Amino acid sequence: MKTLNDIWCFLQNNWEGIVAIIGLLSSIYFAYQNRVHNRLSIRPLLIIYTENLNGGDLCLMIKNIGMGPAMLERMKCKSKVDGKIYNQLEFHRLLEHHFGKTEKDIVKIFSPKSGLQVNSPFCITQFDGYYINPYKKERFIKIINEFDIVVHYSDLYGKEKKPLTFSIEKFEKIDLKKLES
């Protein structure tokens, strides 16, 4: 009987410490469960599309339609004709060479580890719509179709995702509402 009495006295004298240890262990367990849940559910999903901006400007866009931010690592454009690989600036210069230099053409290069928030578009290259006639538009479509655009990115936790290869087959804006549902 003395041992049961000793155990009861120990519990009465040290109940604060026991409750604190139980609280600490449950906090560690639930923090681990939350981290696992976030890793599995917060994923970026990138798409690429073309869009007419500002009254006709021609723009090549990347948009994140996933559940978490995407960390953009690098982008390259691979020619379907000869297999040559171009970085963003070389790709823009190639388009400029074929498409014609306009007064207002813009190329935006993302730096490594730059973030792309959910539902935020990123313009890769943009050409002034004032100089775009039907012939140039058709020519631009033909040139764009000769490339696969490969984007390397990772999720919020640094886990690299499989590089996405985008082939632009038609010069049309993608219906984003249809993709998001």
What residue segments make up the domains of the chain, in order of their start? 2-40, 44-171
Whether the Cβ atoms of residue 78 and residue 145 lie closer than 8 Å to each other: no
For the domain made up of 44-171, the CATH class stated in words is mainly beta
* Strand duo 70-79 + 121-127: pairing: unpaired
What is the sign, positive or negative, of the torsion defined by CA atoms of 164, 53, 128, 71? Answer: negative
Q: Answer whether residue 173 shows pLDDT above 70.
A: no
Report pLDDT digits (tens) over 80-105.
Answer: 888 889 887 788 787 777 766 655 56
Q: Which comes out higher in pLDDT, residue 50 or 149?
A: 149
Average predicted confidence (pLDDT) for the chain: 77
pTM above the 0.75 mark? no
Sequence-ordered list of residues with C-beta below 8 angstroms from that of 132, at least 6 positions apart, any chain? 56, 58, 140
The Cα–Cα gap between 133 and 109 comes to 27
**What is the structure's pLDDT at 30?**
96
Report pLDDT digits (tens) over 9-27.
Answer: 888 888 888 899 999 999 9
